[in-house]
Structure 1
Amino acid sequence: MFSSKRINLRKVNEGDADIYHKWRNNPVVMENTSPSLDVYTLEETEEFIRVITGSGDSKCYMIELNDQDKSIGIVSLINIDYKNRNAECIIDIGEKDYWSNGYGREAMGLVLNYSFLEMNLHKVYLRVFSFNHRAIKLYEKVGFVKEGEHKDHLFRNGQWHGVTSMAIFQEGYLKG
């Protein structure tokens, strides 16, 4: 559906359940993005995929390498509020070998272009765990700013951590 130099974004479909199930049950992948580290059955993942692909208030895309038939992650706009022109963004690079190589930044660029140029959203927001410095750095690079923090909101690895709220606005994105 969308392409950049190295990746394509295509709509998630029910055939993606196996790969998403692998990522969803990998504690190393989910530690930085999922509030719960629950283990899911394949049937639960299949139902989750059916729900997100059938919902009018979400748009979910697999991140695929251009030069290979390989999915490396997922990026989504959820809780889309068409009246107030905003949506929440979620991104997971599920294949750890592709972390810190710019794929997340490319995927965010594609989804933000779509959000602001095609959907005409005013604001895209997200939540990120305060210990996920790599993700925070990415979000700041593409123009997100911190809006606030829920302190001691997540207990992970024996410690309390905050959840930071960040946003990017159409006007600033288009000027930047």
Structure 2
Amino acid sequence: MLKGEIVELRPVSREDLAHLYRWANDEKLTQQGSGSSAALQNNNPKEAIEAHYENNLTSHDMWTHGKVFIVYTLATDEVIGKCDFRQVNPITRSAEIGLNIGERSFWGKGYGQDIIKTMLKHLFYTLNVRRVQLDTWSGNHQAIRLYEKCGFKHEGKLRQNEFIDGEYYDTVLMGLLREEYKESSGSM
């Protein structure tokens, strides 16, 4: 378990699957977090969610497939979301991260920032990763502001790579180096 200031990141358990199923089938929530990939993630039966997590969380190598965490609040021990790291490259020492606060009542209250800070500390100082990256769609202004606040730099975009509600958006690519994290972590 990874402890932040206001969150704890725990391995996903069978008890957490009901939350993951509900969040995965919330079309607006999935669209906000996943952009045009949401169309592939919505409307999945509970059995498919259970099979995916059973298969991928219990029998795979972290260095090949990454790690998924369920997010609990430290104050009330409530489940509020999930996060993960993936695409771990042991040669370039890089990884990709993602997060999703499934409980909307916890948005805008510092939980996202603490989730990212907790994952970054683990990746940079425990797993010796040198570079962390992520992407989102250009219409997800809330996420972009959060990532900027956490020190991520805009590294590029894939023009009109997302299709959401009948409109095209760019995919925004962002990254953070360990040295940049060290410089900004005192202010987070």
TM-score under structure 2 length normalisation: 0.89
Q: Tell me what 1:144 maps to.
A: 152
Work out whether residues 101 and 112 of structure 2, in 8 Å CA contact, stay in contact via their aligned partners in 1. Answer: yes
Give 1:51 shift. Answer: 3.6
Q: Tell me what 1:41 maps to.
A: 45
Aligned Cα RMSD in Å? 1.3
Q: Tell me what 2:177 maps to.
A: 169
| Greater helix share, structure number | 2
- Gaps spanning 5+ residues in structure 2: where? none
Identity value in percent: 27
1:159 aligns with 2:163: no
* One-letter code aligned to 1:131: G
- Alpha-carbon distance between aligned partners in 2 of 1:51 and 1:175, rounded to the nearest angstrom: 39
1:13-162 alignment runs, 5 A limit: 13-34=13-34, 35-37=37-39, 38-53=42-57, 54-56=59-61, 57-162=65-170
Deviations 1:107-161 (A, max 9, x none): 0000000010111101111111100011000000111111111111111112111
Give 1:5 shift. Answer: 2.8
* One-letter code aligned to 1:28: K
Work out whether residues 86 and 96 of structure 2, in 8 Å CA contact, stay in contact via their aligned partners in 1. Answer: yes
TM-score under structure 1 length normalisation: 0.94
Deviates more, 1:4-13 or 1:113-122: 4-13
- Gaps spanning 5+ residues in structure 1: where? none
Please identify runs of 4+ aligned residues in structure 1 that moved more than 2 A: none
- Alpha-carbon distance between aligned partners in 1 of 2:175 and 2:112, rounded to the nearest angstrom: 17
1:61 is paired with a residue whose SS is strand
Work out whether residues 88 and 125 of structure 1, in 8 Å CA contact, stay in contact via their aligned partners in 2. Answer: yes
- Alpha-carbon distance between aligned partners in 2 of 1:52 and 1:89, rounded to the nearest angstrom: 17
Number of corresponding residues: 176
Work out whether residues 71 and 80 of structure 2, in 8 Å CA contact, stay in contact via their aligned partners in 1. Answer: yes
Work out whether residues 147 and 166 of structure 1, in 8 Å CA contact, stay in contact via their aligned partners in 2. Answer: yes
Work out whether residues 27 and 38 of structure 2, in 8 Å CA contact, stay in contact via their aligned partners in 1. Answer: no
Give 1:6 shift. Answer: 1.9
- Alpha-carbon distance between aligned partners in 1 of 2:168 and 2:81, rounded to the nearest angstrom: 27
